[in-house]
Chains A and B, each alone.
Chain A
Amino acid sequence: MAEGKVEFELVAPERLLLSEPVEMVVVPGEEGDFGVLYQHAPLISGVRPGVIKVYNGGKVTEQIFVSGGFAEVTPARCTVLAEQAVPVSDIDRAEADQQLRDARDDLADAKDKHERDHAERQIAVAEAMLAAASG
């Protein structure tokens, strides 16, 4: 591994999306975005819906939308376990719009707390996705 780089891994249940040494990666943590550089203090954090930004050579080289998950950071490694991950450039606005509408309908129809929580989460994901798509 190159000195001064973080071994970054982004995994979704379906596949390993990204596994490479990067300069810095910014993860949307449960309590605010955090950047991970080499020699970061060990951390385990929840991930909220948002965009993961990968920096190389001082520039953003990759932007990936995640719908939530967990991140584990050690001094040499950063692993993000995403629930669902889509590169920002692949987000389909129309589809995200549709998801948002569906989720709102679900919320209106929700019968118990469980269904309501689920729908609210879906709305948060869809809204974050739209926000990511509009840059």
Chain B
Amino acid sequence: MPSLKDLRVRIASVTATQKITSAMKMVAAAKLRRAQEQAEAARPYAERMERMLGSLAAASVGQAGAPALLAGSGKQEVHLLVVGTADRGLCGGFNSNIVRDSRQLIESLLEDSKTVKIICVGRKGRDQLRRQYGDMIIDTIEDVTKPRPSFEKSEAIAERITRMFEGGEFDVCTLIYAEFKSAITQIVTRQQLIPFAPAAEDEEVAEAGGGQKASYEYEPSEEEILEALLPRNLAVQIYKGILENNASEQGSRMTAMDNATRNAGDMINDLTLIYNRTRQAVITRELIEIISAKEAL
């Protein structure tokens, strides 16, 4: 049985941990609200952009001279994965879930003997992938959410990816991030960025594309608009990914810290019970000793 002093020390340390986790939970909750608002505010733009591009793409897919960003490079050999994770840990399974999914994707691509290149957005993803796939990681981008996620940063990433694509460094680009559903559910999502793949399940897109695509007028020309729209869409989709990721991270952290706080509370209760029992046992033992000593006299 542990001594009274040991128990006191342990209770004190668990209480200190609980204070930290509950503070982290509070901070995550505050950040979550902001991140969630931002993510939800950005959704309309990304959706409209996809819809517009979808109807444009429907018209020009298969045509000769379609921009490479839309049609792809004609090959599927080199895959670029943009793995979005958090910069910090202590947020439950958030980072691990994304990394696990990335690993699956990497493995299945390697099995098909494709070449894989990785850009990590977020420190934690790099840390976890480095050991196995260190030679595939071409770059890590950190602190995209500091001080807050901004469109400019996504634009810079998009520009870089576009330049790499134009330089023929890869054929297919996929973005991996966690879509925010609620504080307890985040869904790891793979989104193909290049070549552009319209969300097929959207009926409105199909309808608009089918019924009206032929009659759209373009100002200036269709090609020019596509050329301007495609890189922009890339930036928008990356921005959306970063925002969703940010909200998911905070949500995941909040849930994890809530659990940790509750577990610490349970632990303190258990320890306090043992502590009191031990204390009483000590008192009883001392009494017995005194009484039996007296009787022996």
Contact = CB atoms under 8 A, between A and B. Distances in A.
Give the interface residue-count category, chain B. 20 to 34
A30 B44 CA distance: 23
A3 interface: no
A70 B219 contact: no
B42 A15 contact: yes
A16 B44 CA distance: 7
Contacts of A72: 48, 51-52, 55
Q: In terms of DSSP, what is the predominant structure of the interface of chain B?
A: helix
B216 interface: yes
B200 interface: no
B218 A44 contact: yes
Contacts, number: 74
A13 B219 contact: no
A42 B215 contact: yes
B217 A16 contact: no
Contact of B45 (A13, A30, A45): A13
Contact of A31 (B56, B220, B228): B220
Contacts of B52: 44, 70, 72, 79, 81
Given A13-B151, A14-B38, A45 B48 contact: no
Given A79-B52, A81-B48, A46 B220 contact: yes
A74 B225 contact: no
Interface residues of A, number: 22
Nearest to B163: A114
A12 B219 CA distance: 21
Interface in A74-120: 74, 79, 81, 83
Contacts of B217: 41-44
Interface in A38-91: 41-46, 70, 72, 74, 79, 81, 83
Given A44-B56, A70-B52, A13 B239 contact: yes
Given A13-B236, A70-B229, A72-B52, A45 B219 contact: yes
Interface of A: 9, 11-16, 29-31, 41-46, 70, 72, 74, 79, 81, 83
Closest 5 CB pairs of A and B: A15-B41, A45-B219, A16-B44, A11-B45, A43-B217
17 contacts: A9-B44, A9-B48, A13-B45, A13-B236, A15-B42, A30-B219, A41-B217, A42-B215, A43-B217, A43-B218, A43-B219, A44-B52, A44-B222, A45-B220, A72-B51, A72-B55, A81-B45
